[in-house]
Amino acid sequence: MLEIDNLTVEFGTKKVLDGVSLTAEKGKVLGIVGESGSGKTMTALAVMGLLSPDARVAEGSSIQLDGKELIGLPEKKLAAIRGNDIAMIFQEPMTSLNPTMRIGRQLEEALRLHGQKIPSKSWLREKVMEALKEACLPEPEKQYDRYPHELSGGMRQRVMIAMGTICRPDYLLCDEPTTALDVTTEKGILELINRIRTEHNMGIIFITHDLKLLRGFADKVAVMCKGKVVEQGSVEQIFNAPVEEYTRRLIASIPDRQHRRNVKAAGAEK
Amino acid sequence: MAEKRTKVKKNIYFRVGLGITLFFVVLMFVGLIYTPYDPNAMNSSEKFLAPCLSHPMGTDNFGRDIFSRVLKGISMTGLVAVSTVAIGGTIGTIIGALTGFYGGIVDEIVMRINDTLNGFPSILLALVIVSILGPGKYNVILALGILFIPSFARIVRSEYINYKNRDFVKSARLMGAGSLRIIFLHIFPNILPTLLVTITIGFNNAVLAEAGLSYLGIGIQPPDASLGSMLSDAQSYLFSAPWYAVMPGMTIVLFVLGFSLLSEGICSK
Amino acid sequence: MKYIAKKLITLILTLFLISVLVFLIFQVIPGDPVLSILGTEATEEKIESLREELGLNASLPERYFDWLSGVMKGDLGRSYRYKENLNEQMAVSRLVAGKLPVTLTLAGMSLLFIIVLSIPIGILWGGTKHKWLDALLNVLAQFSMSVPSFFLGIIVIYFFGLIMKWFTPGGYVSYKEDFSGYIQYMIFPALTVALPKVAMTARFLRNSIINQLNADYVRTAYSKGAGRTRVLFLHVLKNAMIPVVTFIGVIAAEIAAGSIVVEQVFGLPGIGRLLVSSISTRDYPVVQALMLYIVSAVVIVYFLVDVLYRYIDPRVEE
């Protein structure tokens, strides 16, 4: 279990996260939805311990991984957890890979960093190839020696996913992984994440501003607004009986007649 | 927080730079009208005096008062710097404004030439021009003035390209303003901050270039006092009279430091 | 290969343009070369015969191609001032060839110092978290960039030459006589050339590193579990070095073109010193040849930087 409890983060006097409490479980998908600036990315970065040095985590905040407190952990121990127990993929596949390092090397690095015994170079290559294949990257042999700029956005995001999952972490944080991609590619990426989750019993935290992506995908949804979690519940609950006005507006902004009708109905019932 | 801290630091740069520069401006005017001694008066009984009360910077190999000569040198260097920046700045700004605003084939050609000139070591270009014109203060001013045209033209041009399609320019045009009016009355005030930084850097380079040319003996010619040629004279007496080199040398360093701090300070404002 | 070929064609075109420019500049110079050689009291006949001999009566394009074919064969004309023997002026090519090794050694050693010193300093500066170290390096850099090279040279001579007596000021031995002595005499001039450039390059690298540290891929590397040192050296450094290579290239061009002032300060018989003395004595054939060398050196170094770029930045298209 990954438990975030009463997480408060401040920049100077400004609270960017205000008492956020969330729980993610292995094998389940927790969706976090909200507008930009609502604090969803900040939450993920706090879990990774990657907040910028100016940010201050307030006292009383807690992030626990299977009962182990992560806040206040020394940098070395955090680094050992990153990528190994909790991994993260980012919104911008175009800039999130090192432009001067070959794809294969970037994936290998994740393996090298986490102390597994590396019997041989060919073993390393095999592992990387396995991960690339699992991520359904076309022609993995060829991509291995390529540089990021030679790949399309969708391919790069697959590389990011392969890199995030190569050490078989328990949790994968996905920060708007499909926002920069077109709709067809988006669908493929979502399917891939879902498949990896079921195959390896991975817990997913999926951050998006697009509520409809979470339908039929997330087990639980948290709605964030201005650094606070305003509503939490199962997908059905959120879609069919949103309690908060803010959530209703989020649903209403989905350009789909069916959903809009649902919202209206929900509003009329009240 | 971090941003604020660098702002404060840059502000200190600005203040110190401005202080040094103003100090030198004052010295420059003082040097024009008053020096404690005649800077060219030789006195064989007072050769190589170390800095003392009557000669705060000591005297040189002819018994001339170094402080008076440094004052004169500051005036001369300042004069050269102001004139060269004025020449280079005016012509460069006009070229940059016109080419940037109108664009087209002339712009292409002028900018190619500019790029080529920019790639060259600046002291070399100055040397070439001086070699054609001959040494002396007016030729140095002309040479350095020409030398500064490309850098001004390039920076002003990119600013004009940036501004020429802005809404305020379009609305000025709709109200019937002519091109020249737009160029000089509407756009020009907007590029002043950038121009200011360029001018400060220009002063910095002008001081260094004048001192360098004079040091090499092809800049300001005697009897005009110049910080660069003083250094070159002082080098022969380095062991017996180190202050002779240190005084004009440190003067140049401070002069340049003032401008470079100032430009760094303005940049971040 | 296509990239290099393209750059090579540009290089040749630029060199051609430069040769035209350098030729033309010395056509507009006031003063008659014939009078410069013979003096004002020469007879009409003598002047005419020398004009013919120097090819001055031909048309401008003809004279240009004459001159260019001479340059190609290594014939750069004859100096007005230096004499080979009693009745022959010295060939410019011989004059320049004698001075060039000094300038090139100085340039090479300076570049070595710049690279060896500025890169570690830049990495330390860009990677440090300590505010005081950042401020200290900033002050040092600001100061070294404000000291003009001739004054820096004088300080070096005074301190290391006269006080510490580590070398003899104004002394010089030819590399033909004593190679290690020659190198020793070059160390301090090279340091003088290098110091302000070290400050500039280190500052440039520092800014580049700080820029790169904010890039998305750095966050990715951290999220993989990489530590700060690893991120800095394995990920950031290569990306941060890409613009620095161009920067060092510009500096290399500048010092290959001759550290004119520093040669003068230390009394090294290089081409910078020859250029200055030739300008003062209006020895135009020498000035012309040196300009041609200097400008060509600049564009050739730029070309080499472009080629090098191709190897360090995989994003440069073929």
Task: Please report the domains of chain C, with CATH numbers, ordered by start residue.
Answer: 2-94 (no CATH), 98-284+298-312 (1.10.3720.10)
Q: Which domain holds residue A87?
A: 2-269
C9: contact with A, CB 8 A cutoff: no
CATH number where B253 lies: 1.10.3720.10
**Residue in chain C lying closest to A89 (CA):** C220
**Residue in chain B lying closest to C17 (CA):** B116
What is the pLDDT tens value at each position of chain B, 269 positions in all?
444 555 556 678 888 889 998 999 898 888 888 888 777 777 777 777 777 777 777 777 777 888 888 888 899 899 999 999 999 999 999 999 998 888 888 888 887 777 767 666 667 778 777 877 777 888 889 988 988 888 899 889 988 888 888 888 888 888 888 888 888 888 888 888 889 888 988 898 889 888 988 898 888 887 788 888 888 888 888 888 888 888 889 999 999 889 888 888 877 65
B141: contact with C, CB 8 A cutoff: no
Alpha-carbon span C139 to C133, nearest angstrom = 10
- Structure-block tokens of residue C299: 């564009």
φ/ψ (deg, to 5) at C83: -110, 140
Measured in angstroms, the CA of A11 and the nearest CA of chain B are apart by 9
Q: Which of C307, C296, C243 lies closest to C271 in space, CA to CA?
A: C296
**DSSP code at position A105:** H
B175: contact with A, CB 8 A cutoff: no
- A89 exposure class (CB count in 10 Å sphere: 0-12, 13-18, 19+): buried
CATH number where A75 lies: 3.40.50.300
Cβ contacts of C220 on chain A, cutoff 8 Å: 90, 96-98, 160, 163
* Secondary structure of residue C92 in the 3-state scheme: helix
Q: What is the pLDDT of residue B1?
A: 40
Q: Which domain holds residue B255?
A: 6-33+61-267
**Residue in chain A lying closest to C241 (CA):** A100
Asked if residue B223 has a cis previous peptide bond (ω within 30° of 0), the answer is yes
CB contact under 8 A, A160 and C220: yes
B2: contact with A, CB 8 A cutoff: yes
Is B47 a member of any domain? Answer: no
Q: How many domains does chain A have?
A: 1
Q: How many CA atoms lie within 13 A of A219 on its CB side?
A: 14
Long-range CB pairs of C65-69 (<8 Å, 24+ gap) are C67/C23, C68/C19, C68/C23
Residue A95's CB: how many other CB atoms inside 10 A? 17
Q: For helices B66-102 and B242-267, what crossing angle results, to 10°?
A: 30
Number of H helices, E strands in chain C: 14, 2
Q: What is the pLDDT of residue B235?
A: 87
Amino acid type, B164: K
Model pLDDT for residues C178-200, shown as the tens digit of each residue: 888 888 889 999 999 999 999 99
What is the pLDDT tens value at each position of chain C, 318 positions in all?
778 888 888 888 888 888 888 888 777 766 666 666 666 677 777 777 777 776 667 778 888 888 888 888 888 888 877 877 777 778 888 888 888 999 999 999 999 999 999 999 999 999 888 889 998 998 899 888 888 888 999 999 998 888 888 888 777 888 888 888 888 889 999 999 999 999 999 999 999 999 999 899 999 999 998 888 899 999 999 999 988 988 898 888 888 766 888 998 898 888 888 988 888 787 888 888 888 888 888 888 888 888 888 888 877 765
ipTM score here?
Answer: 0.86
Is B225 a member of any domain? Answer: yes
φ/ψ (deg, to 5) at B49: -75, 135
Model pLDDT for residues A8-32, shown as the tens digit of each residue: 999 888 889 998 999 999 989 999 9
- Structure-block tokens of residue C155: 């300080």
Is B117 a member of any domain? Answer: yes
Task: Select the residue of C219, C230, C314 nearest A50 (Cβ to Cβ).
Answer: C219
CB proximity list for C29: less than 8 A, separation 6 or greater: B132, C284
Residue B172's CB: how many other CB atoms inside 10 A? 17
C225: contact with A, CB 8 A cutoff: yes
> Which pLDDT band, with edges at 50, 70 and 90, does A257 fall under?
low
Measured in angstroms, the CA of B228 and the nearest CA of chain C are apart by 9
Cβ contacts of A54 on chain B, cutoff 8 Å: 1-2
> Beta-strand (E) ranges in C86-136?
88-91
C222: contact with A, CB 8 A cutoff: yes
Q: Which of C289, C294, C292, C286 lies closest to C258 in space, CA to CA?
A: C294
Is B147 a member of any domain? Answer: yes
- Structure-block tokens of residue A29: 């998908």
CB contact under 8 A, B256 and C25: no
- Percentage of chain B surpassing pLDDT 90? 11
Query: Which ranges of B34-121 would DSSP assign to H, the alpha helix?
Result: 66-102, 104-118
Long-range CB pairs of B126-129 (<8 Å, 24+ gap) are B126/B209, B126/B212, B126/B213, B127/B213, B127/B218, B127/C260, B127/C275, B127/C276, B127/C279, B128/C25, B128/C287, B128/C291
Q: How many domains does chain B have?
A: 1
CB contact under 8 A, C261 and B120: no
0.80 exceeded by pTM: yes
Cβ contacts of B1 on chain A, cutoff 8 Å: 12, 54
Alpha-carbon torsion B98, B103, B108, B112, what sign?
positive
